[in-house]
Every structure is written in C-alpha cells, then in structure tokens.
Amino acid sequence: MCRLFALHAGRTRARATFWLLDAPDSLREQSRREPDGTGIGTFTAQGRPKVEKQAIAAWEDRAFAREARDLESTTFIAHVRYASAGAHTFVNTHPFEQSGRLFAHNGAFGGLATLERRLEDLGTAGLVRGETDSERLFALITAEARIAGGDLEAGIVNAVSWIAERLPVFSLNFIITTATDVWALRYPETHELFVREDQGPADPTARRLEARSQRITVHSDDVAEHVLVATERMDNDPRWRLLDPGELLHVGPDLHVGSSRPLPRNPAIQLTLADLDPKAAASQKPHGA
C-alpha cells in the first residue's frame, strides 16, 4: 500500500528530517515495502512548489536521503509508491504539481476512459503527463477548483462527488498542499488516514518536538507547533486521530484544523480487493497483509 505523509509548520519554515528518515517506521523504512517510487514536495520561501522524486525506492536513493535532510518548507508532502496503475517512471511518481499545488494519492478507482472524456470537456486533460488514476483525479480537482473560482475545497468536493457517483471506487485517500494550507481526504473507509496536532505554547525557547517510545524517537529543533497527516501512526503518541470515513480535513496557515463530511457515505460502485486485477490488489493491501 502506498504511504502518504504531510507536515504543516504554520508560518514557520521547518525541516522534516526526522519524520522522513530517522524513525524506525519512517517513510524510508516503509519504502522497503513500497518499492516503486519516492517523492517529496516542498515550497520555496517565495511560495513556489518544488518536487524531488525518483521512480525507485527511497532506501535505494541516496539523493532522497540528502534532500530530505536539507529541505525546508512551511508545508511538506511525501509519498512512497506501490504502483497500482502505470509503469515505474518519473512521470508516474508522486507527488504531482498543478496550478501551484502538490498532490499525492493512496488508492485506486476505475473508469479512466470516462474520466478522461470529462477532463477533455473541462480543458484539463493536458495537465496529465503520466498513466496513473491519481494524476487524473488531481486534474479533475484542478478543473473543478477553476470552475469554483479558485475555491479548492469546493473543487475537491465536486470532483470526488463526480467520481463517487459515476465510477467504480476502491479508495480516494489523498493529500494536497500549498505553501499555506493542507487538505486531506479519507474516502471511503477502505484505507486509514491519521492526523496529529502538536500545538503547544508559543514559547521561542521551547521550539522543539520530542516523542519517545520503545519503537520510535522523534526529535526536531525547528518547530514545536505543527500538524502531521499520515497513512499510519508514526509513534504511540495519543494525539494521533483516525479520520472518519468521508472526512475532509483542512489545515490553514495558523494551524487551525477544520473538518467536514460533505460526501456521500459510500461510492455508488464500491470496489473490493477481489474486484481489482492482481497488481492493483497487491498494491492496495495494508503492509504485512
């Protein structure tokens, strides 16, 4: 199963070194189970998106380790891919960038020919460079956000609702980041997605994150207040919360976390693992399954 990760540090530029590399169950360790590609997305001080990705596993890519240590951003998005659609190529590796936003997806759905016709009608088919269902989902969100006058949340709701009403869906879990905001969706209940809010006192002498257990040690000298989103709890901290099925999470520049449940409870055509081809089914199983 693909792995998603996001960090929002508010208005402070921070490093994500620990969460990407040092934890026993960090994305680098998880990538030994999800070997088809690795990517990290950040934003420059001027708010421009920057993506570093390779169509190989993170543990095989020394550049990934170097970049994960050196990158700074207000928001981070990272993805470790276990391919369900598309070849193991650069253009099929997450995260994707469109209209100054970054996107990573964990899931699968069908009816891509129908979706491609919809993208052509909306004028965003040209945004798609690879073969994945994920990039096509992102292009539909981009199109619907444009129709909604730039309202990304409306774009997400309208795009996912359109797919849920018409196409066979296994899972549409995803994360979208900008330089100032993070959106995360768990839909439907097929895969888990967790959020952790670390929002302590704004004491400049205590700008540090530490969390320790038998399995994991977290340490960051950059910022104490932040919000994390991940496909798995990355330690035993009780602040991790499982998103509800259908919950759309939004984290703003001030780290205010809001959520809504604007989608139908289940897609009209709900797929199971048995409905997927063997490659797609293997990519969607939880690790260890």
Q: Does residue 274 have a pLDDT over 70?
A: yes
pLDDT value for 66: 54
Model confidence at 78, pLDDT cuts 50, 70, 90, reads: confident
pLDDT for 146-163, tens place per residue?
A: 999 999 999 999 999 999
Model confidence at 33, pLDDT cuts 50, 70, 90, reads: very low
pLDDT value for 5: 84
Domains of the chain, start order: 3-283 (3.60.20.10)
**For residues 162-187, average pLDDT:** 97
Q: Does residue 57 have a pLDDT over 60?
A: no
Least confidently predicted of 5-14, 41-50, 54-63: 54-63
Least confidently predicted of 182-186, 196-200, 279-283: 279-283
Q: Which helix (H) or strand (E) holds 78?
A: strand 75-81
Give the integer Cα–Cα distance in Å for 82 and 37: 7
**For residues 28-55, average pLDDT:** 73
Give the integer Cα–Cα distance in Å for 192 and 208: 28
The CA–CA distances, whole Å, from 69 to 14, 82, 145 equal 11, 23, 33
Kindly report the backbone phi and psi dihedral angles of residue 32, in degrees, each rounded to the nearest multiple of 5, phi listed first. Answer: -70, -20
Q: Does residue 94 have a pLDDT over 70?
A: no
Model confidence at 27, pLDDT cuts 50, 70, 90, reads: very low
As beta bridge partners, residue 173 has 106
pLDDT value for 65: 52
**For residues 109-115, average pLDDT:** 95
Q: Does residue 100 have a pLDDT over 90?
A: yes
3-class DSSP state for residue 168? strand
Its pTM stands at 0.83
Least confidently predicted of 18-22, 40-44, 53-57: 18-22
> Which residue, chain included where needed, has tokens 């030994």?
32
Q: Does residue 172 have a pLDDT over 80?
A: yes
